[in-house]
Amino acid sequence: MTDEVAVTWSVDGPVMTIVLQRGPANALGLPIIEGIGAALDAADAAGASVVVVTSALPKFFAAGADIKLMAEIDAAGFMAYGDQLRAVLDRLAARVSIAAVEGVALGGGLELAMACCLRVAGTGASFGLPEVRLGLIPGAGGTQRLPRLVGRGRALDIMMTARQVPADEALAMGLVDRVVEAGQAEPAALRLAATLCQMSQPALAAVIATVDAAFDLPMEDGLQFEVDAEQKLFEDGDAMEGIAAFVAKRTPDFSRSVR
């Protein structure tokens, strides 16, 4: 755990829950950045299959970057701070992860949620990237991940107006994947995590990689990337167990696979 207890985590079988709890608003300063990094180290050590990121603060998932810190650093310090934040979000994006969002997710807080594979929101949640009000742009993946989720026009609208998007609109545009009753985002995310844990983990990783390739590669190259990924799963992944279980009309046991 971190000295300031900005982040705590717990492991229940294959699921790790990371809890942000740096009052008053979970500003993404170094305590949270380092805390998430330490939690991901612990997830690796524990062999956790799915990570759920949530908040102990009912009104805030995370309210953005640490502006007080930004006011005290020079250009080199600003770059170093951004690099640390981007590095931990990239680690989160590389694994099966779910953001459970209650309250506001603004600026870096929304970038944190978007770095997760999936987002579950309570009905009272809201989302925004208001960096233009500071004379900045989202700098931890926001300008890249948001258009991939909602399209160019909606992304420009959200970033250029600095407005907050309510949960129902976020669901309709694809910014979040599920909306549940207020206060139920974390339980719903944990149920979703339990479902994902029953799946082939190499196959889930391949789904993430191939879908990302759809945005990064020309169609012909993306199709070849898909072919290569599927062939690798057939040869080295869980496909033999999945196919055998289907033929035998039983539930596949993917836990026997070597990760």
Catalytically active residues, by annotation? 111, 131
d(CA 201, CA 199): 6
d(CA 156, CA 202): 35
What dihedral do alpha carbons 196, 59, 164, 99 form, nearest 10°? -10
Q: Count Cβ neighbours within 10 Å for each residue of 35-62 and write b for 16 or more, e otherwise.
A: bbbbbbebbeeeebbbbbbbbebeebbb
- 127 SS3 class: strand
d(CA 138, CA 111): 8
d(CA 163, CA 130): 7
Q: Which two tokens stand for residue 145?
A: 């991940």
CB atoms within 10 A of CB 193: 26
d(CA 213, CA 232): 16
- Nearest C-alpha neighbor of 197 from the set 249, 245, 254: 254
